[in-house]
Amino acid sequence: MANGLRSKVHFRRAPGKPLSQAHAKANAARSKVRSAVEHVFACQKGPMALFVRTIGIARAKTKIGMANLVYNMRRLVWWDGRTAPA
């Protein structure tokens, strides 16, 4: 892509042909990042019922930032509540 940008879209195989090793490896690397990010979005969309309807980007950023803070606090409480394996 132009201007130093890289595509983050997964590669697809051609009909009737297998996916090349290089493309499979690239898809695996992209899936690592995607799985970590999509879990947070799913939590915000589902249990937290995050819906941003504000006037102004600053307020929207604040609302999303607060939702991220709540998500991180919930994770901290969950990690603190776990017992260490014996």
Summarize pLDDT for 34-46 with one digit per residue, the tens: 888 888 888 888 8
Helices 57-81, 21-45: inter-axial angle, 10-degree rounding: 90
Is 67 inside a domain boundary?
yes
Is 7 inside a domain boundary?
no
Contact (Cβ atoms closer than 8 angstroms) between residue 74 and residue 47: no
Is 8 inside a domain boundary?
no
Domain span including residue 31: 21-81
Is 69 inside a domain boundary?
yes
> Does 11 have pLDDT greater than 70?
yes
Element (H, E) at 39: helix 21-45
- Both ends of the chain: CA-CA distance in Å? 51
Summarize pLDDT for 35-86 with one digit per residue, the tens: 888 888 888 888 888 888 999 999 999 999 999 999 999 999 999 888 877 6
What pLDDT does residue 70 have? 92
* Number of domains comprising the chain: 1
Is 13 inside a domain boundary?
no
Is 2 inside a domain boundary?
no
DSSP state of 56: S
Rounded Cα distance between 80 and 70, Å, is 15
Is 86 inside a domain boundary?
no
Model confidence, pTM: 0.62
Is 9 inside a domain boundary?
no
